[in-house]
Amino acid sequence: MDKPQPLSETREQITDIDNTVLQLLARRRELSLEVARSKEVDVRPVRDTQRERELLARLVQKGREQGLDPHFVMQLYQSIIEDSVLNQQAYLHGRANPETQKQQYCIAYLGARGSYSYLAANRYCQRRQVDMVDLGCQSFDEIVQAVESGHADYGFLPIENTSSGSINEVYDVLQHTSLAIVGETTIEVGHCLLAKPGTKASDIKTLYAHPQPISQCSRYLARHPGVRLEYCASSAEAMEKVQAAAGNDVAAIGSAEGGALYQLEAIEKGLANQKVNQSRFIVVARKAVAVPEQLPAKCTLIMATGQKPGALVEALLVLKANNLNMSKLESRPIPGTPWEEMFYLDIDANLASPPMQLALKELERITRFIKVLGCYPCETVAPTQLSNAQLLIEPEHFRADAPPATKPHPSAAEPARHSLAYKASLSEAVAGSLLLGNGHTGALAQLPLPQTLEGFEPFLKQIKAAGFAGLVLSQLAEQPNPAKALDACAKAAEKFGLITAAAIDKEEELEHALSRVELILIKGKQMFNRPLLERVGKLHLPVVLERNTMADIDELLGAADIILGAGNQQLMLCESGVSSFKSSSLATLDLAGLVELKARSHLPVLVNPSYAVSADACPRQAKAVKHLGADGLVLDVTLDAPIADNHIGETLRQFFI
């Protein structure tokens, strides 16, 4: 083998390339703003998902020709496009409100430099390329007063978090303020254990944190019962305390970025219960702003309806009649009037649009009180996706459309919940980034929960490259600490954009899986376990119900009805083969049963051929079940066998073509 060139030389070349990449990104940003200027003149919408899809498909193809992973190329460009869309929005919003165009904004926020509110405000100003003068406050009231009195231009208020939910105090403050909501911004809240350099996690005796991070990291904290918690008014105060402490046995919960401002190191990361932990902030100002019609807009209203049956429904029907989507509904008590509620609504519409104006007029007639808190650009940019087919194979082989919905089965007077007579449209189930049913397909790789993570990352890379959307981890009870092992696997899988599901073969495994996974698969062995079905029916988590090898179709659908009846509508079925005369150990894949399920039920149906057919027959079966309408595959894989070159890769290709 040739001797490689010296490391320092190679690194220099990489540094040069990175500098060029940055220059090109900056140039792309300028061009994107040029596009925004054209859109301003032509009054075109900022977002053009058709253009994004074409661009992604072309880049994935070009990348593939140069040996780049299609998923990597797609994710990279999704981030670039998100940044580009948000920059265009900020530009057009500024142009429509020239009085907001300044060199610097004075921003009132909770805590001090380094708090999450500070980071959110910083991000907001950077996007608008204005300097930030920061005004740290001790409470939400103080923030509102700072803006009302003119000391600050904007106030940043955290309104909700993906783990701990809505922040009630902020809703209460909004009831009384004259300020208007003029913007929103969402930041990733990466909770870390912050300590002085050299501190070990095992040394920590006292932990300083704001109550919100404490509730968002409850599971991590429960694993460290010996640590004393000290509540602080903000994450910044917690960091200050650690910086000022004499000893090395204290830590704070906060962001790595914030910690750096206090010379603290993140000695552990990813403390939050939820893998995706984001906080949404609203931006308040003295004067409301106009949102140009090319921008996706949101309106926040508060209203009090009368105390009569159906009053809220009546109000919501007004939104329906005007084809308006409500993305959030909250209720808070009205001070001084016990048991009366003030409702907060986020509506995906521009205040100036005719449907919104019509709806407001109608709502004024039927409510006791109504006020628009503000209209502002919506900052959520849902990434444009390519289909599995586009990511796996050449574009000219795009798969055929899903088979049309089958006719409802003639049914009794009370149609069963699983039936098409009960629900005529095909159901979809969403588990993290995976969408299945109603024409959406996907595949999951099933394997025993691994003992160690050795070699796991290269394995996940292969799983992702083969086209799997996630993992189903089984045999949880075989592990000494299934919760910890699941956490670690889910974290690793997430890095590759894979979802994690748990296969429940023994009832007690469910406890370990809850809130660690995005999907629960009830193994066929548990299909007749009514209490377990009722339990998962009460979960707000998608469920796959596998058919027991001895169960007929009616029994499977009956079990499905137990789950649906308990409330959980995110249900999928899985055909994994039934016992037959052919072999005592091998199941028979019931293709007739699959056709029956698709004809009788609106539920997505997955197929796992692994127990029924030999490895080399899997690709043929995948092709067949696809044609019979299967919505997805579950395939058993092993950690050691390469995926792309064996029957697994071919099985996926046959299914997705």
Ligand X SMILES: C=C(O[C@@H]1C=C(C(=O)O)C=C[C@H]1O)C(=O)O
Identity of the residue, 51 or 102, whose beta carbon is nearer to ligand X in the bound complex? 51
Identity of the residue, 35 or 125, whose beta carbon is nearer to ligand X in the bound complex? 35
Identity of the residue, 294 or 474, whose beta carbon is nearer to ligand X in the bound complex? 294
Residues 57 and 391: their CA atoms lie apart, in Å, by 8
35 binds ligand X (CB under 6 A): yes
Residues 442 and 429: their CA atoms lie apart, in Å, by 11
Identity of the residue, 81 or 174, whose beta carbon is nearer to ligand X in the bound complex? 81
Least CB distance to ligand X at residue 383 (A): 11
Helices 7-42 & 70-96, crossing angle to 10 degrees? 40
Identified binder of ligand X from the candidate list 33, 40, 48, 96, rule CB under 6 A: 48
Q: Residue 197 burial (CB < 10 Å; 0-12/13-18/19+)?
A: exposed
Which residues 83-142 are close enough to bind ligand X by CB under 6 A? 84-85, 88
47 binds ligand X (CB under 6 A): yes
* Span near ligand X by CB under 6 A; candidates 45-53, 195-203, 234-242, 538-546: 45-53
Identified binder of ligand X from the candidate list 52, 346, 509, 518, rule CB under 6 A: 52
Identity of the residue, 117 or 390, whose beta carbon is nearer to ligand X in the bound complex? 390
Identity of the residue, 85 or 180, whose beta carbon is nearer to ligand X in the bound complex? 85
Which residues 482-501 are close enough to bind ligand X by CB under 6 A? none
The DSSP call for residue 274 is S
Residues 416 and 397: their CA atoms lie apart, in Å, by 39
Helices (H), 43-69: 49-65
Identity of the residue, 40 or 314, whose beta carbon is nearer to ligand X in the bound complex? 40
Identity of the residue, 48 or 69, whose beta carbon is nearer to ligand X in the bound complex? 48
Identified binder of ligand X from the candidate list 11, 27, 51, 62, rule CB under 6 A: 51
List beta partners, residue 192: 254
Identity of the residue, 17 or 31, whose beta carbon is nearer to ligand X in the bound complex? 31
- Residue nearest to ligand X according to CB distances in the complex: 84
Identified binder of ligand X from the candidate list 33, 40, 55, 456, rule CB under 6 A: 55
40 binds ligand X (CB under 6 A): no
Angle 417-420-421 from CA coordinates, rounded to 5° = 80
Taking alpha carbons only, the member of 308, 324, 312, 310 closest to residue 359 is 324
- State the CB neighbour count (10 A cutoff) for residue 3: 5
280 binds ligand X (CB under 6 A): no
Least CB distance to ligand X at residue 382 (A): 11
Identity of the residue, 47 or 332, whose beta carbon is nearer to ligand X in the bound complex? 47
Which residues 553-582 are close enough to bind ligand X by CB under 6 A? none
Least CB distance to ligand X at residue 88 (A): 6
Residues 64 and 470: their CA atoms lie apart, in Å, by 22
Do 299 and 372 touch, CB atoms closer than 8 A?
yes
The DSSP call for residue 409 is P
74 binds ligand X (CB under 6 A): no
Least CB distance to ligand X at residue 432 (A): 24
Q: Which residues contact 72 (CB under 8 A, 6 or more apart)?
A: 63
56 binds ligand X (CB under 6 A): no
Least CB distance to ligand X at residue 400 (A): 28
621 binds ligand X (CB under 6 A): no
Identified binder of ligand X from the candidate list 60, 73, 74, 81, rule CB under 6 A: 81
Residues 174 and 465: their CA atoms lie apart, in Å, by 48
* Span near ligand X by CB under 6 A; candidates 80-88, 176-184, 334-342, 405-413: 80-88
Least CB distance to ligand X at residue 84 (A): 3
Characterize the bridge pairing of strands 265-268 and 192-195.
antiparallel
Identified binder of ligand X from the candidate list 32, 97, 387, 475, rule CB under 6 A: 32
Least CB distance to ligand X at residue 346 (A): 23
Q: Residue 448 burial (CB < 10 Å; 0-12/13-18/19+)?
A: middle
Question: Over the Cα atoms of the chain, what is R_g?
Answer: 27
Least CB distance to ligand X at residue 91 (A): 11
Least CB distance to ligand X at residue 34 (A): 9
Question: Which run of H or E residues covers position 431?
Answer: strand 429-431
Residue reference for tokens 């054209």: 38
Residues 216 and 429: their CA atoms lie apart, in Å, by 26
Query: Positive or negative, the Cα torsion across 576, 560, 418, 581?
Result: positive
Identity of the residue, 84 or 163, whose beta carbon is nearer to ligand X in the bound complex? 84
Identity of the residue, 35 or 233, whose beta carbon is nearer to ligand X in the bound complex? 35
The size of the interface with ligand X (CB under 6 A), counted in residues, is 11
- State the CB neighbour count (10 A cutoff) for residue 480: 7
Least CB distance to ligand X at residue 46 (A): 6
Residues 549 and 576: their CA atoms lie apart, in Å, by 8
Least CB distance to ligand X at residue 81 (A): 4
Taking alpha carbons only, the member of 64, 283, 302, 65 closest to residue 176 is 302
Least CB distance to ligand X at residue 327 (A): 20
Residues 649 and 645: their CA atoms lie apart, in Å, by 6
Least CB distance to ligand X at residue 294 (A): 10
Do 168 and 162 touch, CB atoms closer than 8 A?
no
Q: Which residues contact 460 (CB under 8 A, 6 or more apart)?
A: 492, 493, 495, 496, 498
176 binds ligand X (CB under 6 A): no
Characterize the bridge pairing of strands 442-448 and 632-636.
parallel
Least CB distance to ligand X at residue 487 (A): 36
* Span near ligand X by CB under 6 A; candidates 51-59, 458-466, 564-572, 640-648: 51-59
Do 325 and 298 touch, CB atoms closer than 8 A?
no
Name the site residues for ligand X (rule: CB under 6 A).
Answer: 32, 35, 47-48, 51-52, 55, 81, 84-85, 88
